[in-house]
A and B are shown apart, each in its own frame.
Chain A
Amino acid sequence: MEITTKQFKSCDMVTVKGRIDSSTAPQLTEALEGITGDGRYKIVLDMSELEYMSSAGFRALLSGQRVCKRYNRGEIVLAVVPQRVQEALELAGFTELFKTFEDTVEAVGNF
């Protein structure tokens, strides 16, 4: 898995590429904590190049969302969610915890 982060004026974008499972989910947690640790809580997760995500990834997203949404200071939103990942997120009841956008521009515009 590869993660890149980019800082915009209104938010940060985290791009995940490849597969997120129990082995690689800690990298996602680290990337999210790197941003929230700097006091920024508005994050777009670009999933356009994500192939796979297990519940280990869901767990990383859930803890990240808790931190971001505290005191209404921000949130994590999801952009370009692949169909298979979307189906798993729905099964886990996660789609109601995250706003999702069809493209990254729209997601960034949310902030």
Chain B
Amino acid sequence: MSKVKMQETLEAVPPAALTVEGLTVWRGGRCVLEDLGFSLASGSITAIVGRSGVGKTTLIHCLNGLIRPDTGVISVPGLGSLGEPEALRRHRRSSATVYQDHALIGRLSALDNVLLGLADLRHPLSPLPWSSQHRRQAAQALEEVGLLYRASALVRDLSGGERQRIGLARALVRKPRLLLGDEPFASADPVLVRRFGDELRRAVERSGLTVVLVLHQLDVALRLADRVIGLSEGRVAFDGAADGFGPSAQGRVFHGIFSLPSGGASRP
């Protein structure tokens, strides 16, 4: 019953392509993001790169509605502007975020943490335990990240890399159309990064998943992404195909030498 209902809700949502126009965010008297504009094609992987403190995390938090931009509009075709509560609600239901600090609860088991990814499907005051359907979904998500054998281990006993994979599973269990990630591979070893990269690419090709990742490691970003958005001093310093993110573009993004965005075309 609940399965049918949930799939209906998810399928009613149009493909998660997203448009950002004139996005400006002030934080503590400082302009963190200034007049950002880009549009994300559905079924693509976009890497957001830039120096620390340039506003990458703020951008991710704008895209999942945790931060309301001071000016500018983020809209999803078919849903409208995320400033509208109903559009935001449906956008959030079809998206998921992996957080930099994992944002897990240490004293709960891995499975219980993954179940939190489905918390919006339950009434907050329901006294019932998680349904077996939801538990099965969570176990499948754990299997996808290769941690099913740790399902009942407490998260506080897991390693940093394992926690990151639990965070990823909590996002995947939502079967999102839009996957946002804030340094999702920061504590994973290179072999795992490659594996997850391949997984993501397959999901993108299979189900039209749209992925936006904040990435520190440039080599990972260039290998994984179709498109790179480089931020510098709160503005878009580069926006283009990953192939085109060469040394001079990298210099602009990472050395704070601001110049106008070079074109806007993304790889089809």
On whether the two chains bind one another, the answer is no
